[in-house]
Chains A and B, each alone.
Chain A
């Protein structure tokens, strides 16, 4: 019993064996993920298993750049790393540096190849896209009869417009025969002549969504005379059917919103139209009425009686004016006359006669002012204050 080794010695010896093994230091291991735990430290602990057994694995936080997806139970993966011993528990485990999904590479290649082929054939071309009718009455749905997708579509459609008839084709959306099931659903709903068809399913792995990447589904969507909305998985998942469909919806809920119009909006629009019509007709009537009133007033002014009245009034005005002018004129003349009379009074010879002078005229009434005006024997008239008498010139002074 002299040569007993410590645990530490044995574990470190075994560890050293692993470390020196060329194969175990760089190894690819494939299997199914189980017991996967994301630790708060950032390390991921999981096991890889196959039919025969399991191997413990760890991916340290420092190696996380070697993992580009979320590791989940049941995934088929290939892990690259090294196998070594965890001395504390004396267990060997796989230290992962890189993890890729097994078989995905082939799937992506198929996806890309089909996508390119169909694109070249023009199956994604915008000119083949049918418009989604704005107001539908029937909605066809091709999806699994259970699960979130069908529930979301029915709930949202019913909330927006409970009067739209939904016809569900319960399809198998993953696994063997899924694409044939989806194709049959599209064809049968096309025969039912629904206004729009939604095909889709909830989120899942690329394998789960694969049926929507199959060529027969793509062709059925392309050939469908009814507009098709494709809603597969989450917003980030894109499938071939999304490219071929007349419209791509990010999720099944969004597809229902795009397909089913909101009945409340229509009711609002209808009452808006009614209000507008009533408004317009009332305005037109009021407009015509005010025009008629305007005409009535104008017509009344144009009546001959009105004209006659106006003429009569004008005539009366003119008469007044005339009379006034005349009177003014007369007043003015009367005044002038009075002035003349006063003036004449001052100039009258009779005034002078009252002072003892007399006024002598010839027979013709010409005032005699000079001797030469009357020869001897000429007949004159002499005016005095109270009258006149005739006179004859007796002689002439020599």
Chain B
């Protein structure tokens, strides 16, 4: 677990980002930038969900793990 979980942060950023996109005075360029950033975030969210089913591991006294 080197990488810190940022799913929560990413959701928060997506939230503010869509709010900004609702502003009718926003320029088209800004809107595209926000959209691209949002799509990038969504990709990262999906990547951060490591979607491989995990087997339960058992920790023994020496600190080694093996399957349950």
Residue of A nearest to B46 (CB): A270
- Minimum distance in angstroms from B26 CB to a CB of chain A: 7
Residue of A nearest to B59 (CB): A169
Q: Are B39 and A277 in contact (CB under 8 A)?
A: yes
Q: Is A280 on the interface with B (CB-CB < 8 A)? A: yes
Q: Give CA–CA (A166, B38) in the complex, Å.
A: 31
> Using an 8 Å CB-CB cutoff, how does the interface string of B47-67 with A read, 1 for contact, 0 for none?
001111110111101010100
Residue with the greatest number of chain A CB neighbours at <10 A, chosen from B5, B7, B41: B7
Q: Are B14 and A273 in contact (CB under 8 A)?
A: yes
Residue of A nearest to B63 (CB): A188
Q: Give CA–CA (A135, B8) in the complex, Å.
A: 7
Q: Give CA–CA (A189, B63) in the complex, Å.
A: 9
B54: which of A163, A185, A263, A288 is its contact (CB, 8 Å)? Answer: A163
Q: Which chain B residues border A287 with CB–CB below 8 Å?
A: 24
Q: Which chain A residues border B38 with CB–CB below 8 Å?
A: 273, 277
Q: Are B56 and A134 in contact (CB under 8 A)?
A: no
Q: Give CA–CA (A6, B65) in the complex, Å.
A: 76
Q: Which chain A residues border B41 with CB–CB below 8 Å?
A: 273
Given known contacts A277-B18, A284-B21, A166 and B45 CB-to-CB distance under 8 angstroms? no
Residue of B nearest to A261 (CB): B7
- A147-165 contacts to B, CB under 8 A, are 154, 162-165
Q: Are B31 and A281 in contact (CB under 8 A)?
A: yes
Q: Are A280 and B21 in contact (CB under 8 A)?
A: yes
Q: Which chain B residues border A189 with CB–CB below 8 Å?
A: 59
Q: Are A284 and B31 in contact (CB under 8 A)?
A: yes
Q: Are A280 and B58 in contact (CB under 8 A)?
A: no
Q: Are B57 and A277 in contact (CB under 8 A)?
A: no
Residue with the greatest number of chain B CB neighbours at <10 A, chosen from A168, A188, A277: A277
Q: Give CA–CA (A168, B54) in the complex, Å.
A: 13
> Using an 8 Å CB-CB cutoff, how does the interface string of B16-40 with A read, 1 for contact, 0 for none?
0110011010101001101100110
Please tell me which stretch of A84-92, A191-199, A368-376 contacts chain B, meaning at least 4 of its Cβ atoms lie within 8 angstroms of it: A191-199
Q: Which chain A residues border B57 with CB–CB below 8 Å?
A: 165-168
Residue with the greatest number of chain B CB neighbours at <10 A, chosen from A185, A193, A273: A273
Q: Are A163 and B49 in contact (CB under 8 A)?
A: yes
Interface residues of chain A, those whose CB is within 8 Å of chain B, are 133-138, 145, 154, 162-170, 184-185, 188-189, 191-195, 263, 266, 269-270, 273-274, 276-277, 280-281, 284-285, 287-288
The 4 A-B pairs at the shortest CB distance, nearest first, are namely A280-B21, A135-B7, A284-B31, A277-B38
